[in-house]
Copies of this chain bind each other. A is one copy, B any other.
Amino acid sequence: MNTFGNIFRLTTFGESHGPVTGGVIDGMPAGIRIDMDALETMMARRRPGSSGNVSARREADRPEFLSGLLDGVTTGTPIAFTIANTDARSADYDAMANTYRPCHADYTYQMKYGIRDHRGGGRASARETAARVVAGALAKQVLTGYGISVDAYILQIGRVAEKSAEVTAAMKAEIEEARAEGDTLGGIVGCTISGCPAGIGEPMYAKLQAMLAGAMMSINAAKGFDYGSGFAGAAMRGSELIDTFIPASDGTITTLTNHSGGIQGGISNGQPIDFRVVFKPVATMMRPMQTVDTDGSPVTLQPRGRHDVCVVPRAVAVVEAMAAMTVLDAIMMDQCHGSTRFV
Protein backbone atom coordinates (compact mmCIF):
# COMPACT_ATOMS: atom_id res chain seq x y z
CA MET A 1 0.00 0.00 0.00
CA ASN A 2 3.00 2.22 -0.59
CA THR A 3 1.85 2.85 -4.15
CA PHE A 4 -0.12 5.93 -5.18
CA GLY A 5 -2.14 6.19 -8.38
CA ASN A 6 -3.75 3.96 -10.95
CA ILE A 7 -1.96 4.56 -14.25
CA PHE A 8 0.63 7.14 -13.26
CA ARG A 9 1.91 5.35 -10.17
CA LEU A 10 4.45 6.22 -7.54
CA THR A 11 5.82 3.59 -5.14
CA THR A 12 7.95 5.06 -2.37
CA PHE A 13 10.35 3.52 0.10
CA GLY A 14 12.81 4.52 2.77
CA GLU A 15 12.91 5.44 6.41
CA SER A 16 13.90 8.81 7.79
CA HIS A 17 17.24 7.61 9.04
CA GLY A 18 18.05 4.90 6.52
CA PRO A 19 20.63 5.55 3.78
CA VAL A 20 18.10 6.90 1.24
CA THR A 21 14.53 7.85 0.58
CA GLY A 22 13.30 6.98 -2.88
CA GLY A 23 10.61 6.02 -5.29
CA VAL A 24 9.67 4.26 -8.51
CA ILE A 25 7.47 6.08 -11.00
CA ASP A 26 5.57 3.72 -13.27
CA GLY A 27 3.40 4.94 -16.13
CA MET A 28 5.32 8.11 -16.96
CA PRO A 29 4.66 8.91 -20.62
CA ALA A 30 7.59 8.17 -22.94
CA GLY A 31 9.56 10.71 -24.92
CA ILE A 32 9.58 13.54 -22.39
CA ARG A 33 12.82 15.39 -21.71
CA ILE A 34 13.07 16.02 -17.95
CA ASP A 35 13.78 19.61 -16.94
CA MET A 36 16.16 18.96 -14.06
CA ASP A 37 16.31 22.63 -13.09
CA ALA A 38 12.54 22.82 -12.65
CA LEU A 39 12.72 19.63 -10.61
CA GLU A 40 15.37 21.11 -8.34
CA THR A 41 13.40 24.30 -7.88
CA MET A 42 10.38 22.34 -6.73
CA MET A 43 12.52 20.19 -4.42
CA ALA A 44 13.96 23.34 -2.86
CA ARG A 45 10.48 24.52 -1.90
CA ARG A 46 9.94 21.40 0.19
CA ARG A 47 13.46 21.27 1.61
CA PRO A 48 13.93 21.64 5.35
CA GLY A 49 16.25 24.38 6.43
CA SER A 50 15.27 26.67 3.61
CA SER A 51 14.15 29.29 6.05
CA GLY A 52 14.25 29.96 9.72
CA ASN A 53 10.69 28.76 9.98
CA VAL A 54 11.34 25.17 9.34
CA SER A 55 13.51 22.26 10.42
CA ALA A 56 17.21 22.93 10.46
CA ARG A 57 18.01 19.60 8.82
CA ARG A 58 20.00 20.45 5.68
CA GLU A 59 20.26 18.13 2.77
CA ALA A 60 20.88 18.70 -0.89
CA ASP A 61 17.78 16.62 -1.70
CA ARG A 62 19.05 16.00 -5.19
CA PRO A 63 17.48 12.82 -6.59
CA GLU A 64 19.72 10.30 -8.32
CA PHE A 65 17.90 8.61 -11.20
CA LEU A 66 18.57 4.89 -11.53
CA SER A 67 16.45 3.92 -14.52
CA GLY A 68 13.88 4.93 -17.09
CA LEU A 69 15.80 7.72 -18.80
CA LEU A 70 17.88 7.62 -21.97
CA ASP A 71 19.97 10.75 -22.38
CA GLY A 72 17.54 12.61 -20.08
CA VAL A 73 14.42 11.51 -21.98
CA THR A 74 11.78 9.20 -20.52
CA THR A 75 11.46 5.81 -22.24
CA GLY A 76 8.17 4.56 -20.78
CA THR A 77 9.96 2.19 -18.39
CA PRO A 78 9.93 2.70 -14.60
CA ILE A 79 11.85 5.70 -13.31
CA ALA A 80 13.56 4.79 -10.03
CA PHE A 81 15.33 7.40 -7.97
CA THR A 82 16.93 7.78 -4.55
CA ILE A 83 17.61 10.82 -2.39
CA ALA A 84 20.46 10.48 0.07
CA ASN A 85 19.72 11.02 3.76
CA THR A 86 22.97 12.86 4.36
CA ASP A 87 22.22 14.59 7.61
CA ALA A 88 20.46 12.07 9.77
CA ARG A 89 21.67 12.07 13.34
CA SER A 90 20.14 8.90 14.70
CA ALA A 91 21.68 9.41 18.09
CA ASP A 92 19.14 12.16 18.64
CA TYR A 93 16.49 9.50 18.59
CA ASP A 94 17.96 6.67 20.59
CA ALA A 95 16.11 7.78 23.66
CA MET A 96 12.86 7.29 21.81
CA ALA A 97 13.27 3.60 21.15
CA ASN A 98 11.18 2.81 24.19
CA THR A 99 8.87 5.81 24.20
CA TYR A 100 5.63 6.54 22.36
CA ARG A 101 5.66 10.18 21.34
CA PRO A 102 2.16 11.70 21.57
CA CYS A 103 0.34 12.38 18.28
CA HIS A 104 2.96 10.46 16.32
CA ALA A 105 2.79 7.06 14.63
CA ASP A 106 5.04 5.33 17.18
CA TYR A 107 2.26 3.59 19.05
CA THR A 108 0.12 2.72 16.04
CA TYR A 109 3.00 1.22 14.03
CA GLN A 110 3.93 -0.89 17.05
CA MET A 111 0.34 -2.06 17.38
CA LYS A 112 0.08 -2.86 13.69
CA TYR A 113 3.42 -4.53 13.00
CA GLY A 114 4.73 -5.52 16.42
CA ILE A 115 7.96 -3.76 15.47
CA ARG A 116 8.90 -0.23 14.42
CA ASP A 117 11.88 1.74 13.26
CA HIS A 118 11.98 4.40 15.95
CA ARG A 119 14.71 6.51 14.38
CA GLY A 120 13.21 9.85 13.49
CA GLY A 121 9.77 8.51 12.81
CA GLY A 122 11.07 5.82 10.47
CA ARG A 123 8.73 5.37 7.57
CA ALA A 124 6.18 7.78 9.08
CA SER A 125 8.59 10.71 8.83
CA ALA A 126 7.76 13.62 6.56
CA ARG A 127 11.03 12.74 4.86
CA GLU A 128 8.97 10.45 2.60
CA THR A 129 7.33 13.49 1.02
CA ALA A 130 10.61 14.28 -0.76
CA ALA A 131 9.91 11.33 -3.05
CA ARG A 132 6.41 12.63 -3.68
CA VAL A 133 7.79 15.97 -4.78
CA VAL A 134 10.18 14.33 -7.25
CA ALA A 135 7.33 12.43 -8.87
CA GLY A 136 5.01 15.41 -8.67
CA ALA A 137 7.58 17.60 -10.37
CA LEU A 138 7.73 15.15 -13.28
CA ALA A 139 3.94 15.01 -13.44
CA LYS A 140 3.83 18.81 -13.49
CA GLN A 141 6.15 18.84 -16.48
CA VAL A 142 3.79 16.57 -18.39
CA LEU A 143 0.83 18.75 -17.41
CA THR A 144 2.63 21.89 -18.48
CA GLY A 145 2.95 20.34 -21.93
CA TYR A 146 -0.84 19.92 -21.86
CA GLY A 147 -1.40 23.56 -20.89
CA ILE A 148 -2.36 22.72 -17.32
CA SER A 149 -0.83 24.51 -14.34
CA VAL A 150 -0.97 23.40 -10.70
CA ASP A 151 -0.29 26.05 -8.09
CA ALA A 152 -0.45 25.64 -4.34
CA TYR A 153 -0.11 28.47 -1.85
CA ILE A 154 -0.45 29.33 1.81
CA LEU A 155 -3.92 30.38 2.95
CA GLN A 156 -3.44 30.42 6.69
CA ILE A 157 -0.71 29.93 9.28
CA GLY A 158 -1.92 29.77 12.85
CA ARG A 159 -4.34 32.65 13.25
CA VAL A 160 -3.03 34.58 10.23
CA ALA A 161 -5.17 34.02 7.15
CA GLU A 162 -3.69 35.52 3.98
CA LYS A 163 -3.47 33.98 0.53
CA SER A 164 0.16 34.05 -0.26
CA ALA A 165 2.82 32.27 -2.24
CA GLU A 166 5.38 32.81 0.52
CA VAL A 167 5.39 33.32 4.25
CA THR A 168 4.38 36.93 4.91
CA ALA A 169 5.61 39.20 7.66
CA ALA A 170 2.49 38.60 9.75
CA MET A 171 2.93 34.85 9.36
CA LYS A 172 6.59 35.13 10.34
CA ALA A 173 5.59 36.97 13.47
CA GLU A 174 3.02 34.29 14.27
CA ILE A 175 5.67 31.61 13.82
CA GLU A 176 8.25 33.44 15.94
CA GLU A 177 5.77 33.89 18.73
CA ALA A 178 5.01 30.16 18.76
CA ARG A 179 8.68 29.30 18.59
CA ALA A 180 9.47 31.51 21.51
CA GLU A 181 6.88 29.62 23.52
CA GLY A 182 8.19 26.23 22.44
CA ASP A 183 4.87 25.76 20.71
CA THR A 184 3.84 24.89 17.14
CA LEU A 185 1.34 25.97 14.50
CA GLY A 186 -0.91 24.52 11.82
CA GLY A 187 -2.57 26.14 8.89
CA ILE A 188 -4.23 25.78 5.52
CA VAL A 189 -2.78 25.28 2.03
CA GLY A 190 -4.84 26.13 -1.04
CA CYS A 191 -4.34 24.83 -4.57
CA THR A 192 -5.65 25.83 -7.98
CA ILE A 193 -5.46 23.69 -11.11
CA SER A 194 -5.95 25.80 -14.22
CA GLY A 195 -6.28 24.81 -17.84
CA CYS A 196 -7.80 21.39 -17.21
CA PRO A 197 -10.40 20.74 -19.90
CA ALA A 198 -13.87 19.38 -19.18
CA GLY A 199 -14.20 15.61 -18.99
CA ILE A 200 -11.46 14.57 -16.55
CA GLY A 201 -12.42 12.36 -13.59
CA GLU A 202 -14.47 9.19 -13.30
CA PRO A 203 -18.10 9.51 -12.30
CA MET A 204 -18.61 7.22 -9.34
CA TYR A 205 -15.94 6.15 -6.81
CA ALA A 206 -13.02 7.76 -8.63
CA LYS A 207 -14.62 11.17 -8.76
CA LEU A 208 -11.95 13.81 -9.24
CA GLN A 209 -12.66 15.29 -5.79
CA ALA A 210 -12.47 11.81 -4.22
CA MET A 211 -9.09 11.17 -5.81
CA LEU A 212 -7.85 14.59 -4.72
CA ALA A 213 -9.17 14.13 -1.18
CA GLY A 214 -7.57 10.71 -0.86
CA ALA A 215 -4.28 12.09 -2.16
CA MET A 216 -4.26 15.07 0.18
CA MET A 217 -5.31 13.10 3.24
CA SER A 218 -2.35 10.77 2.66
CA ILE A 219 0.00 13.67 3.46
CA ASN A 220 1.38 13.67 6.99
CA ALA A 221 -0.48 16.03 9.36
CA ALA A 222 -3.34 16.75 6.92
CA LYS A 223 -6.62 16.86 8.86
CA GLY A 224 -9.15 17.95 6.27
CA PHE A 225 -9.95 18.70 2.64
CA ASP A 226 -12.62 20.74 0.91
CA TYR A 227 -13.16 22.13 -2.57
CA GLY A 228 -15.25 24.78 -4.23
CA SER A 229 -17.76 26.17 -1.74
CA GLY A 230 -16.47 23.59 0.77
CA PHE A 231 -17.30 23.83 4.45
CA ALA A 232 -18.28 27.47 4.06
CA GLY A 233 -21.20 26.37 1.87
CA ALA A 234 -22.92 24.47 4.69
CA ALA A 235 -24.68 27.57 5.91
CA MET A 236 -25.47 29.02 2.48
CA ARG A 237 -28.56 28.77 0.34
CA GLY A 238 -28.61 26.89 -2.96
CA SER A 239 -29.48 30.11 -4.72
CA GLU A 240 -26.20 31.63 -3.53
CA LEU A 241 -24.13 28.81 -4.94
CA ILE A 242 -25.61 28.18 -8.38
CA ASP A 243 -22.96 28.36 -11.13
CA THR A 244 -25.02 29.55 -14.05
CA PHE A 245 -23.98 28.22 -17.45
CA ILE A 246 -23.44 30.86 -20.12
CA PRO A 247 -22.11 30.81 -23.66
CA ALA A 248 -18.41 31.64 -23.81
CA SER A 249 -17.05 34.01 -26.40
CA ASP A 250 -15.26 31.14 -28.16
CA GLY A 251 -18.45 29.18 -28.74
CA THR A 252 -17.99 26.82 -25.80
CA ILE A 253 -19.89 26.89 -22.53
CA THR A 254 -18.62 28.43 -19.31
CA THR A 255 -20.06 29.37 -15.93
CA LEU A 256 -20.63 32.78 -14.35
CA THR A 257 -19.23 31.70 -11.00
CA ASN A 258 -17.24 28.70 -9.78
CA HIS A 259 -18.70 27.55 -6.47
CA SER A 260 -18.46 24.04 -7.92
CA GLY A 261 -14.69 24.32 -7.72
CA GLY A 262 -14.29 23.16 -11.31
CA ILE A 263 -15.88 19.75 -10.76
CA GLN A 264 -19.47 18.62 -11.36
CA GLY A 265 -20.57 15.02 -10.90
CA GLY A 266 -16.97 14.08 -10.20
CA ILE A 267 -15.80 15.30 -13.62
CA SER A 268 -13.96 18.53 -14.44
CA ASN A 269 -16.10 21.16 -16.15
CA GLY A 270 -13.31 23.28 -17.62
CA GLN A 271 -13.26 25.88 -14.83
CA PRO A 272 -10.32 26.16 -12.41
CA ILE A 273 -10.24 23.35 -9.87
CA ASP A 274 -9.62 24.76 -6.42
CA PHE A 275 -9.35 23.06 -3.08
CA ARG A 276 -7.92 23.45 0.41
CA VAL A 277 -6.04 21.19 2.83
CA VAL A 278 -5.75 21.85 6.53
CA PHE A 279 -2.65 20.79 8.46
CA LYS A 280 -2.50 20.30 12.21
CA PRO A 281 0.21 21.93 14.29
CA VAL A 282 3.48 19.99 14.46
CA ALA A 283 3.21 17.37 17.20
CA THR A 284 6.80 17.60 18.41
CA MET A 285 7.24 20.63 20.62
CA MET A 286 10.28 22.16 22.19
CA ARG A 287 8.99 21.64 25.69
CA PRO A 288 8.83 18.60 27.98
CA MET A 289 5.83 16.41 27.26
CA GLN A 290 4.17 13.69 29.30
CA THR A 291 3.69 10.30 27.65
CA VAL A 292 4.21 6.58 28.29
CA ASP A 293 6.97 4.15 27.44
CA THR A 294 6.41 0.90 25.58
CA ASP A 295 5.53 -0.79 28.84
CA GLY A 296 2.80 1.77 29.46
CA SER A 297 4.60 3.55 32.28
CA PRO A 298 4.48 7.36 32.40
CA VAL A 299 7.64 9.15 31.25
CA THR A 300 8.54 12.73 30.43
CA LEU A 301 9.81 13.32 26.93
CA GLN A 302 12.55 15.95 26.71
CA PRO A 303 12.74 17.95 23.48
CA ARG A 304 15.51 16.87 21.11
CA GLY A 305 16.35 16.90 17.44
CA ARG A 306 15.31 19.49 14.88
CA HIS A 307 11.70 20.23 14.19
CA ASP A 308 9.55 22.62 12.24
CA VAL A 309 7.37 25.05 14.14
CA CYS A 310 4.91 24.86 11.26
CA VAL A 311 4.91 22.49 8.29
CA VAL A 312 2.63 24.61 6.15
CA PRO A 313 5.34 26.43 4.14
CA ARG A 314 6.98 23.14 3.20
CA ALA A 315 3.65 21.39 2.66
CA VAL A 316 2.84 23.71 -0.24
CA ALA A 317 5.16 21.82 -2.58
CA VAL A 318 3.82 18.49 -1.36
CA VAL A 319 0.19 19.50 -1.98
CA GLU A 320 1.18 20.70 -5.43
CA ALA A 321 3.00 17.43 -6.15
CA MET A 322 0.10 15.25 -5.05
CA ALA A 323 -2.35 17.37 -7.05
CA ALA A 324 -0.22 17.12 -10.17
CA MET A 325 0.05 13.34 -9.89
CA THR A 326 -3.69 13.02 -9.25
CA VAL A 327 -4.67 15.09 -12.27
CA LEU A 328 -2.20 13.36 -14.58
CA ASP A 329 -3.46 10.00 -13.35
CA ALA A 330 -7.05 11.09 -14.00
CA ILE A 331 -6.11 12.27 -17.49
CA MET A 332 -4.47 8.93 -18.23
CA MET A 333 -7.54 7.09 -16.92
CA ASP A 334 -9.69 9.21 -19.20
CA GLN A 335 -7.44 8.34 -22.12
CA CYS A 336 -8.14 4.64 -21.50
CA HIS A 337 -11.60 5.30 -22.87
CA GLY A 338 -10.04 6.53 -26.10
CA SER A 339 -10.39 10.23 -25.43
CA THR A 340 -7.93 12.40 -27.30
CA ARG A 341 -8.06 15.68 -25.43
CA PHE A 342 -4.26 15.93 -25.40
CA VAL A 343 -3.15 14.39 -28.68
Contacts and interface: CB of A to CB of B under 8 A. Distances in A.
Residue of A7, A29, A230, A336 with most partner-chain B CB within 10 A: A336
A244 B289 contact: yes
A78 to B, nearest CB: 4
A51 interface: no
A214 B75 CA distance: 25
B333 A338 contact: no
A30 B265 contact: no
Interface string A88-115: 0000000000001011110111011111
A113 B30 contact: yes
Contacts of A18: 66-67
A314 to B, nearest CB: 16
Given A225-B217, A265-B105, A338 B338 contact: no
Contacts of A302: none
Contacts of A212: 217
Interface string A34-68: 00000000000000000000000000000000111
Given A11-B26, A203-B124, A224 B223 contact: no
Nearest to A299: B245
Size bracket of the A interface: 35 or more
A1 B266 CA distance: 12
Copy tally for this chain in the complex stands at 4
Contacts of A247: 292, 296-298
A53 to B, nearest CB: 14
A147 interface: no
Contacts of A176: none
A255 B248 CA distance: 53
Contact of A123 (B3, B11, B203): B203
Contact of A1 (B30, B202, B259, B285): B202
Contacts of A27: 1, 336-337
Contacts of A253: 100, 107, 292, 296
Contacts of A267: 105, 108-109, 111-112
B243 A102 contact: yes
A243 to B, nearest CB: 6
Contacts of A3: 3, 9, 11, 26, 205
A113 B30 CA distance: 6
A124 B204 CA distance: 8
A313 to B, nearest CB: 14
A179 to B, nearest CB: 11
A220 to B, nearest CB: 8
Contacts of A242: 102-103, 283, 285, 289
A207 B199 contact: no
Contacts of A252: 296
A237 B198 contact: no
20 contacts: A1-B333, A2-B204, A3-B9, A13-B66, A13-B78, A66-B82, A76-B113, A76-B115, A107-B264, A108-B265, A112-B201, A112-B203, A178-B238, A183-B237, A184-B238, A233-B280, A246-B292, A248-B296, A252-B296, A340-B343
